[in-house]
């Protein structure tokens, strides 16, 4: 789709008839916040005056019906649409790299209904996670989806990217929180998926949308699971001589049915440089932070005691529980200014997921490949942790930073891409799936064919059937 053919004045006039003039942005200054999401390259390119996100217009609908009308109009006019939640994605998914319309969904931000009997709630897609959680907390409730990007990330963006939060080991990833969806198809029909996700009424349509990064449809609302705020939290912190022992302790905790709300195992680099800073205590060894929570204090104590026994039996040395509480209190601080990385650094995360049989090899293969891809002069720092655990495996979150990258954007991009290629390919060769919770976007699109093999053709055929005019997020997800 060639956006040079778009008549922006006519486009914005037509869109204004749908959403109102005040909700259509075309001025350069108004479009600037949409020049990049939080992918390092998108930020660096925008700073260099070569933004990869170039919307012709930003549209801010406030109702699902307006979304329907915008999508129908875009189909007639042949203009691409990219949904935008909080723009906090780190893979480049929300960038309008082919111009057209950015659909900023934050005007759909109502909580439509809360059912205290089933503990479920219908929330619109543009609701920001932190606001949603604060409103629920005031009623003694919680959404239990706590991404570090909670200040920006929306419910719809979390669904789009198949996101996760720090409590995922007990409460699940976003796909476990969602019962059903209201979404607009790429040709402009408003669809409601079946009310509950555990059924045998055919395939699970809700799950097809989750993780589709806007390419299969635009989520306008979700029915999500709520929980009561926990009555008790118990923390434990253990140092291990070897990461392998920490992984084995985690495996035993998960396969025996214990469910820590938090279980984060930091390798020796992440313990020494990242966790130690948060808890203001030197931590030279791989270190695990655990938190158990729940409604019944005696059960919380018992579950924590069993897990702590497992850690000790695997050589874990118990550190003061207060360190865990400190981590909890400061868990978001280091993701935001003044601590968040800034240009001219290069930064990013390779977060991949694997079963227990492969996870240790995935850790070694990925971290070794990343180190090998960076010439010594760039002073790579690489801090890795395993922070989301499943009953069958875990993920690794390898956070790399080059304090001062090359001045030249193309050279910096080449270095960045070489690191991601080395780390991603090594992880997949060692048995990992290419991402755990950040999604695919532009960054990982080149690896989707390798990830899916013949299955990629199935994903492409679904896309063609749903979106015959190629309106929604063309070129994204490697489709
Ligand atoms: C400091 C920092 C910390 C982070 N921590 C975490 C973390 O702990 N856990 C985690 O999972 N992620 C984390 N992320 C990544 C990011 O916040 C998540 O990917 C988040 O889910 C994106 O939400 P968003 O609303 O900002 O979506 P956006 O970035 O705006 O969009 C993400 C994708 O979803 C699509 N999309 C947005 N809204 C909709 C909709 N309504 N319907 C269909 N598609 C839609 C977009 O087109 C895009 O493809 C972090 C990012 C940063 C910068």
Position 337 scores a pLDDT of 84
Closest Cα to atom 3 of ligand 1: 149
Q: Output the domain CATH number for residue 252.
A: 3.30.70.3450
91, two tokens: 């893979």
How far apart, in whole angstroms, are the C-alpha atoms of residue 136 and residue 378?
45
3-class DSSP state for residue 35? Answer: coil
Q: In terms of Cα–Cα distance, which of 326, 343, 323 is closest to 334?
A: 326
What pLDDT score does 6 carry? Answer: 80
| pLDDT tens per residue, range 98-142 | 999 999 999 999 999 999 999 999 999 999 999 999 999 999 999
pLDDT(313) > 80 = yes
The verdict on 35 and 122 lying in the same domain is no
- In this predicted structure, the answer to whether residue 3 has a pLDDT above a threshold of 50 is no
Question: Ligand 1 centre from 310 Cα, in Å?
Answer: 35
Domain count, the chain: 4
Distance CA 439, CA 380 (A): 24
Same domain, 112 and 212: yes
Q: Each residue of 385-412: pLDDT tens digit? A: 999 999 999 999 999 999 999 999 999 9
Task: Please check whether residue 470 lies inside any domain of the structure.
Answer: no
Q: How many residues does the chain have?
A: 479
pLDDT for 132-165, tens place per residue?
999 999 999 999 999 999 999 999 999 999 999 9
Q: How many CB atoms lie within 10 A of CB 193?
A: 20
Per DSSP, 98 falls in state T
49-62 as b/e, with b when 16 or more CB fall inside 10 Å?
Answer: eebbbbbbbbbbbb
Does the structure show a pLDDT above 60 at 27?
yes
Q: What is the CATH number of the domain that holds 141?
A: 3.30.465.10
Residues 183, 325: Cα–Cα separation, whole Å: 39
My answer on whether 326 and 375 are in the same domain is: no
Residue pLDDT, tens place only, 260-304: 999 999 999 999 999 999 999 999 999 999 999 999 999 999 999
Is residue 477, in this structure, part of any structural domain at all?
no
Among protein residues, the one whose CA lies closest to atom 19 of ligand 1? 89
Smallest CA separation from ligand 1 atom 15, residue: 89
The dihedral of CA 414, 419, 421, 422: what is its sign?
positive
User: Residue 428 belongs to a domain with what CATH number?
Assistant: 3.30.300.330
Among candidate residues 105, 127, 159, the one where a domain is terminated: 105
**Domain match, 82 and 97 both:** yes
Residue 115 and residue 218 share a domain: yes
Please report the pLDDT score of residue 129 as a whole number. Answer: 98
- Binding-site residues, ligand 1, Cβ < 6 A: 37-38, 82-90, 93-94, 105, 125, 147-149, 152-154, 156-158, 160-161, 163-165, 213-214, 218-219, 335, 437-439, 473
Which one of 41, 66, 82, 94 would you pick to mutate in the ligand 1 pocket, going by the greatest count of ligand atoms within 8 A of its CB? Answer: 94
Of 459, 470, 436, 439, whose CA–CA distance to 355 is shortest? Answer: 436
**What are 374-385's pLDDT values in tens digits?**
999 999 999 999
CATH of the domain at 84: 3.30.43.10
Handedness of CA 32, 38, 42, 43 (dihedral sign): positive
Model confidence pLDDT, tens digit, residues 55-96: 999 999 999 999 999 999 999 999 999 999 999 999 999 999
- Ligand 1 pocket test target in 100, 147, 181 with most atoms within 8 Å of CB: 147
In angstroms, the CA 365 to CA 431 distance is: 10
How high is the pLDDT of residue 5? 67
Q: Examine the domain organization and report whether 163 and 259 are in the same domain.
A: no
* pLDDT-above-90 percentage for the chain: 96
Residues 188 and 85 in one domain: no
Residue 440 placed within a domain: yes
Residue 459 lies in a domain: no
Are both 136 and 189 inside the same structural domain? yes
Is residue 457 in some structural domain? no
- Choose which residue among 37, 102, 163 to substitute to test ligand 1 binding: the one with the highest number of ligand atoms within 8 A of its C-beta: 163
Dig out the tokens for 454 from the structure: 């013949």
Which of 186, 205, 228 terminates a domain? The answer is 228
468: in domain: no
Q: Binning pLDDT at 50, 70 and 90, where does residue 176 land?
A: very high
Ligand 1 centre distance from Cα of residue 126 (Å)? 11
Which of 170, 195, 228 is the endpoint of a domain? 228
Same domain, 149 and 184: yes
Residue numbers of the domain that contains 7:
3-105
- CA of residue 190 to ligand 1 center, whole Å: 23
Per DSSP, the three-state class of 15 is helix
**Residue 398 falls inside a structural domain:** yes
Residue 461 falls within a domain, yes or no?
no
Residue 444 pLDDT exceeds 50 = yes
Indicate if 131 and 54 belong to the same structural domain.
no
- Let me know whether 175 and 213 are in one domain: yes
- Pair (418, 307) in one structural domain: no
Tens digit of each residue's pLDDT (9 = 90 or more) over 405-438: 999 999 999 999 999 999 999 999 999 999 999 9
Average pLDDT, the chain: 97
**Euclidean distance between CA atoms 16 and 254, whole angstroms:** 53
Backbone angles phi, psi at 82, to 5 degrees: -120, 115
Q: How confident is the model at residue 334 (pLDDT cuts 50, 70, 90)?
A: confident
Above pLDDT 70, what percent of the chain?
99
Residue nearest to atom 41 of ligand 1 (CA): 156
């Amino acid at each position: 789709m060639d956006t040079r053919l778009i008549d922006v004045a006519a486009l914005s006039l037509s869109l204004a008839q749908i959403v109102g003039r005040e909700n259509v942005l075309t001025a350069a200054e108004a479009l600037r916040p949409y020049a990049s999401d939080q992918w390092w390259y998108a930020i660096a390119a925008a700073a260099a005056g070569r933004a990869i996100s170039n919307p012709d217009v930003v549209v801010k609908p406030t109702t699902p019906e307006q979304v329907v009308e915008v999508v129908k109009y875009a189909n007639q006019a042949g203009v691409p649409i990219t949904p935008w939640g909080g723009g906090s994605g780190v893979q480049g998914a929300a960038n309008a790299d082919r111009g057209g319309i950015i659909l900023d969904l934050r005007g759909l931000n109502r909580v439509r209904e809360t059912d205290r009997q089933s503990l479920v709630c219908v929330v619109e897609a543009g609701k920001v996670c932190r606001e949603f959680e604060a409103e629920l907390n005031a009623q003694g409730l919680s959404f239990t989806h706590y991404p570090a990007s909670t200040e920006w990330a929306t419910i719809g963006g979390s669904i789009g990217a198949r996101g996760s939060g720090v409590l995922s080991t007990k409460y699940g990833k976003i796909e476990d929180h969602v019962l059903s969806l209201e979404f607009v198809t790429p040709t402009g029909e408003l669809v409601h998926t079946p009310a509950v996700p555990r059924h045998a009424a055919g395939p699970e349509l809700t799950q097809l949308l989750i993780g589709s990064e806007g390419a299969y449809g635009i989520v306008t609302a979700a029915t999500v699971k709520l929980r009561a705020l926990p009555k008790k939290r118990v923390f434990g912190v253990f140092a291990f001589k070897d990461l392998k022992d920490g992984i084995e302790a985690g495996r035993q905790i998960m396969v025996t049915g214990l469910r820590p709300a938090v279980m984060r195992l930091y390798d020796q680099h992440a313990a020494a440089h990242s966790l130690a800073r948060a808890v203001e205590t030197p931590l030279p060894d791989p270190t695990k932070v655990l938190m158990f929570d729940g409604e019944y204090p005696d059960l919380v104590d018992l579950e924590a005691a069993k897990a702590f026994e497992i850690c000790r039996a695997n050589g874990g040395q118990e550190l003061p529980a207060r360190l865990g509480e400190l981590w909890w209190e400061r868990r978001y601080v280091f993701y935001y200014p003044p601590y968040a990385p800034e240009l001219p650094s290069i930064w990013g995360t390779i977060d991949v997921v694997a079963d227990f049989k492969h996870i240790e090899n995935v850790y070694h293969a990925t971290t070794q490949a990343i180190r090998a891809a960076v010439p010594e002069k760039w002073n790579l720092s690489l801090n890795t942790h395993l922070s989301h655990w499943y009953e069958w495996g875990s993920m690794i979150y390898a956070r790399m930073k080059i304090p001062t990258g090359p001045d030249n954007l193309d050279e910096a991009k080449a270095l960045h891409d070489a690191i991601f290629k080395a780390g991603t390919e090594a992880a997949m060769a060692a048995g990992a799936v290419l991402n755990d919770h950040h999604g695919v976007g532009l960054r990982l699109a080149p690896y989707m064919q390798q990830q899916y093999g013949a299955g990629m053709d199935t994903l492409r055929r679904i896309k063609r059937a749903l979106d015959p005019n190629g309106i929604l997020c063309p070129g994204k997800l490697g489709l």
